[in-house]
Amino acid sequence: MTRGPLAVLEAAVPNFRDAGGLPTGTGSVRRGVVYRSAQMGRLTQSAQAALVGLGVGTVVDLRTAEESAHRPDNVPPTVEVVTIDVLADRPHSGVGEVADLVNQSERQASVAAINVAIGEGLAEQHMLETYRHFVTLSSAITGYRTLFTTLASGTTATVIHCTAGKDRTGWAVAILQLLAGATREDVMADYLESNEPMLATYGPMLEGFAALGGDADALSHIMLVHPEYLDSALTRIDAVHGGVHGYLVRGLGMDPEDVDRLRDRLQDPLN
């Protein structure tokens, strides 16, 4: 049986999935508008064809310049790649540590040095700080404003990705789902679904690290997502901006009309 383009990409790229489908009070988050993904530097010809089959016209890369240079996106020439480095002002964050581990594993840092860097709760602290930066960092404010404004005026499907598709991408997707009207509980559940593909992809790395005497539990707090990460950033925008709409308009400086257009693109009303 021939697989559809979404199934092809789900099998080919870790954490590739449709950001739509969650229920809202008036319908659901529209499918086929935004997809999320891990890095897309190793797409086969069939995966590239599947991307075209989904109607994808734009891929938005949220990685740092170093990450993108290390493994550039390999997409069809008909697909525009937009690079938005949301952590340009703070590249060596918890997310940056993931990128170092995933993309630059040839660097032979000692297990003891890694344990010191991430042990005794430091991994969690790094990740919580990273999520706060999604809200407050100048490069993140500029970057996410560009992303959401681009989506508001878009006419084709868009793929949003970073290295693992779980943190920088996870924040963007959560905001889009909440704007469309999904509940915070459903958004959190969808966010946590990144852990299954992450374990499948990076589980052997965690096991190997543990076998060498590494603190695999601490490392897992960087390699996986946890509810408190997303909660910390959402709680901050609630306190400072009064919720998602205020975050988009006052926090990011988006035009309210663009926010309305973006919501309309994302909502699939009941028939």
CA end-to-end span of the chain, whole Å? 31
Average pLDDT over residues 4-14: 96
- For residue 58, the cross-strand partners are 80, 158
Q: Are 79 and 59 in contact (CB under 8 A)?
A: yes
CA distance 18 to 130: 24
The per-residue pLDDT for 114 is 80
CA distance 184 to 5: 29
pLDDT at 82 over 90: yes
Average pLDDT over residues 73-79: 96
CA distance 94 to 267: 33
Q: What are the two backbone dihedrals, phi and then psi, of residue 61, each rounded to the nearest 5 degrees?
A: -100, 115
Burial of 220 (0-12, 13-18, 19+ CB in 10 A): buried
**The CATH number of the domain covering residues in 5-263:** 3.90.190.10
Between 93 and 149, residue with greater pLDDT: 149
pLDDT at 100 over 90: no
- List pLDDT tens digits, range 36-69: 999 999 999 999 999 999 999 999 999 998 889 9
- List pLDDT tens digits, range 235-258: 999 999 999 999 999 999 999 999
106 — pLDDT class (breaks 50, 70, 90): very low
pLDDT at 149 over 70: yes
- Residue 182 has which token pair? 């999904």
What size, in residues, is the chain?
271
User: What is the value of pTM for the model shown?
Assistant: 0.92
R_g over Cα of the chain = 18
Q: H-helix or E-strand containing 147?
A: helix 138-152
Which CB contacts under 8 angstroms, 24+ apart, belong to 172-175?
172/62, 172/144, 172/147, 172/148, 173/19, 173/34, 173/36, 174/230, 174/234, 175/144, 175/148, 175/244, 175/247, 175/248
Select from 186, 230, 192, 257 the least CA-distant residue to 25: 186
- List pLDDT tens digits, range 107-145: 445 778 788 888 888 889 999 999 999 999 999 999 999
pLDDT at 174 over 90: yes
The per-residue pLDDT for 113 is 78
Chain-centre distance for alpha carbon 154? 19
In this prediction, what percent of the chain has a pLDDT beyond 70? 92
Question: Parallel, antiparallel, or unpaired: how do β-strands 34-37 and 17-18 relate?
Answer: antiparallel
CA distance 225 to 36: 15
The per-residue pLDDT for 196 is 96
Question: Tokens 């390699």 label which residue?
Answer: 223
pLDDT at 105 over 50: no
Residue-averaged pLDDT of the chain: 91
96 — pLDDT class (breaks 50, 70, 90): low
pLDDT at 190 over 50: yes
pLDDT at 104 over 70: no
CA distance 160 to 245: 20
pLDDT at 208 over 90: no
The per-residue pLDDT for 212 is 86
The per-residue pLDDT for 127 is 93
